[in-house]
Amino acid sequence: MKVIVIKCGGSILNSLSEDFFLSIDRLKNSGFHPVLVHGGGPDINETLDLYKIKPEFKDGLRKTTEEVMHIVELVLSGKTNRKLVNLLEHAGHKALGLNGSDCSLLQAAFVNWETLGFVGKVESVNKNLLESILEIGCIPVITPIASGPHGQKLNVNADMAAGAVASALHAEMCVFVTDVDGVLKDGNLIQELTVQEAIKLIEEGTVYGGMKPKVETALSVLSQGAKRVMIASGKNKFYDNNSFIGTAFVSENLYMKGAAK
């Protein structure tokens, strides 16, 4: 089964274009089975603000107290996931929303209880569940909340959750859809990045903020055997004429000039 994992960032979730859904149609016509993982950082921040709670991050991960965890779940499962499932259904797809903590879909360990609280790192994925959903022609839409070692719910960075799902499913492709065309340098899109080039962009500070975990996860997915990894925009088509549009990550030994086909 040719699986593609598509991570939909919170930066773009409220303004996904028709072209985004058209790209999903085209992918399905090309024989790909999409699995979606969504973020929702900006929506969480907005709701925390209503409760007068100041968002706190450490190395790109949200400090998650018990109170914050309740709000994360309320927003991601109750609002963001519902919205994406509904948009997909409206675009003519069959979509099934899943909390990562349901049915042991995502099982995680604490990253660092002392500094981050209820934040997890995915250690296993219920691959059989996802494959059964794909077999009946549905698109799984996964909320990045995992079950912890003693059944606690843990907040997982959505880029990292998508990376773990892509690796577990041995996905052919993993695309991180966000609010920019891909990795930019001096305002220009970089079409292809080798591992070494990507590390250099992080070190020199060209890649920073939310782009950093995305690029790091992209490199990790690539090293775990995904054939293609991309960062692309949800404002335009990210797949057309059998080609992906955005920044493609390539292993050194696969390095070739030209667009990723």
40, 69 Cβ separation under 8 angstroms:
no
DSSP-assigned letter for residue 242? T
Tell which one of 81, 157, 233, 247 touches ligand X2W (CB under 6 A).
157
Q: Say whether residue 163 binds ligand ADP (CB under 6 A).
A: no
35, 140 Cβ separation under 8 angstroms:
yes
Candidate segments 127-135, 160-168, 179-187, 216-224, binder of ligand ADP by CB under 6 A: 179-187
114-143 binders of ligand X2W (CB under 6 A): 119
Tell which one of 144, 163, 182, 246 touches ligand X2W (CB under 6 A).
144
- Do the annotations mark residue 112 as ligand-binding? no
- Do the annotations mark residue 187 as ligand-binding? no
Pairing of strands 95-99, 139-143: parallel
Amino acid, single-letter form, for residue 34: P
Q: List all residues 6 or more positions away from 229 whose beta carbon is below 8 Å from its beta carbon.
A: 173, 174, 175, 218, 221, 222, 248, 249
Q: Say whether residue 10 binds ligand ADP (CB under 6 A).
A: yes
> In angstroms, how far is the first alpha carbon of the chain from the final one?
19
Candidate segments 20-28, 38-46, 196-204, 245-253, binder of ligand X2W by CB under 6 A: 38-46
**CA 147 to CA 125: how far, in whole Å?**
11
184 binds, among ligand ADP, ligand X2W, none (CB under 5 to 8 A by kind): ligand ADP
Calculate the alpha carbon distances from 53 to 65, 77, 113, 152 in Å.
11, 20, 19, 22
- The residues of the shown chain that bind ligand ADP, judged by CB under 6 A, are 9-12, 39, 41, 178-180, 183-184, 206-211
Name the residues that contact ligand X2W, by CB under 6 A. 9-11, 39-41, 44, 61-62, 72, 119, 144, 155-158, 210
Residue set of the binding site: 40-41, 62, 155
Known binding residues for substrate are 40-41, 62, 155
